[in-house]
Copies of this chain bind each other. A is one copy, B any other.
């Protein structure tokens, strides 16, 4: 930590700051700047507790240098992690595709979607059984019934199941039916839920919060790893910006940034990331090119009848077209050994 003093800080202000640091068992070093004095803090910062250095007299601001997450960081674990989800590897050589409807609406709809997903080449079937919805009057999902349909769909197609868990009480039942537990954007800082899936033996897909910084996102994953579950996959799904043409602003630079900062895999959700089906294919291709480990997207046998998120769902034909080109591109990237992220 580096503490920057006000230009008009007094000698006694500086003395006060040094005392606080020393009382915490740390070492303080003072440096004379051109206009301001700077105090460096040497030692394990956590000893400071959260003493509010910024509020000490004469302090302009403090700059934290060390990262607050550890288990998640690439420094801690230099090799990229490859996560096994019921036999499918994420984070390795293969580009993984998860497709399916936003919500599980009925047995028929889901099975039809599963057949299409399978035929197009996806490895995972997605579909929400527990739906977090802005309005209490919107369709909230089929809950356990939906989970059962998902499990049946897996039996029929062999596709792995990824589905959202929105509450602590449901972790057990969702983990029973699903292969990969999704934590949605609205719950990225539902720390109680993070801890619960951290104690569960299923891998977790952690979506980025609506307005989460990379630092907050990495720390959210740290909550899960800290409880003993090392199998977290990040999912960039767009952030909230002033632009209203798209539902969210898909921050593809997060893919390379997360790969630089962390050893965990990351996939991209071009459906929520744009909210417009026309933009799903270009952003899916971009996700491949930028080095993502996979994509998750919405596809519906009949988007116009979807109970939620229709405008961003692909029709089966759009989905097949997308898969053809995504597959080609992913193969090419691998064959040519194009490295997007400098991990040196």
Chain B residues near A54: list those with CB within 8 A: 310-311
**Which of B8, B222, B285, B303 touches A135 (beta carbons < 8 Å)?**
B222
Cβ–Cβ contact A134 & B282, under 8 A:
no
Q: Does A253 count as interface, using CB distance less than 8 angstroms?
A: yes
Cβ–Cβ contact B215 & A283, under 8 A:
no
Chain B residues near A342: list those with CB within 8 A: 278, 281
Q: Does A203 count as interface, using CB distance less than 8 angstroms?
A: no
Q: List 23 A-B contacts (CB under 8 A).
A: A31-B40, A31-B42, A38-B40, A52-B309, A56-B304, A136-B222, A166-B191, A166-B192, A168-B168, A168-B192, A213-B243, A215-B245, A240-B240, A243-B251, A252-B252, A253-B273, A253-B282, A260-B278, A282-B290, A282-B291, A282-B341, A283-B290, A289-B289
Known: A252-B283, A285-B290, A325-B338. 8 other contacts (CB 8 A): A31-B40, A36-B66, A52-B303, A52-B311, A167-B168, A253-B283, A286-B290, A325-B336
Cβ–Cβ contact B63 & A63, under 8 A:
yes
Most chain B CB within 10 A, of A209, A304, A342, is at A304
For the complex of A and B, 4 pairs with smallest distance between CB atoms: A52-B310, A211-B211, A289-B289, A54-B311
What is the number of residues of chain A that contact chain B, defined by CB distance less than 8 Å? 117
Q: Does A25 count as interface, using CB distance less than 8 angstroms?
A: no
Stretch among A43-51, A110-118, A149-157 lining the B interface: A43-51
Interface residues of A in 89-141 (CB under 8 A from B): 132-139
Given A274-B253, A289-B329, do A310 and B68 touch, yes or no (CB 8 Å)? no
Cβ–Cβ contact B340 & A285, under 8 A:
yes
Q: Does A256 count as interface, using CB distance less than 8 angstroms?
A: yes
**Which of B42, B168, B242, B332 touches A33 (beta carbons < 8 Å)?**
B42
Smallest CB–CB gap between A336 and chain B, Å? 6
Cβ–Cβ contact B286 & A252, under 8 A:
yes
Cβ–Cβ contact B253 & A279, under 8 A:
yes
Q: Does A2 count as interface, using CB distance less than 8 angstroms?
A: yes
Stretch among A79-87, A173-181, A182-190 lining the B interface: A182-190
Cβ–Cβ contact A282 & B340, under 8 A:
yes
- Which residue on chain B has the smallest CB distance to residue A256? B282
- How many Å lie between the Cα of A274 and that of B214 in the bound state? 14
Cβ–Cβ contact B55 & A211, under 8 A:
no
Interface residues of A in 19-65 (CB under 8 A from B): 20, 29, 31-36, 38, 40-46, 49-56, 63, 65
Cβ–Cβ contact A135 & B291, under 8 A:
no
Q: Does A235 count as interface, using CB distance less than 8 angstroms?
A: no
Cβ–Cβ contact B341 & A336, under 8 A:
no
Cβ–Cβ contact A303 & B55, under 8 A:
yes
**Which of B167, B191, B289 touches A132 (beta carbons < 8 Å)?**
B191
Cβ–Cβ contact B20 & A304, under 8 A:
yes
Chain B residues near A213: list those with CB within 8 A: 242-245
- How many Å lie between the Cα of A291 and that of B279 in the bound state? 11
Smallest CB–CB gap between A311 and chain B, Å? 4
- How many Å lie between the Cα of A7 and that of B269 in the bound state? 30
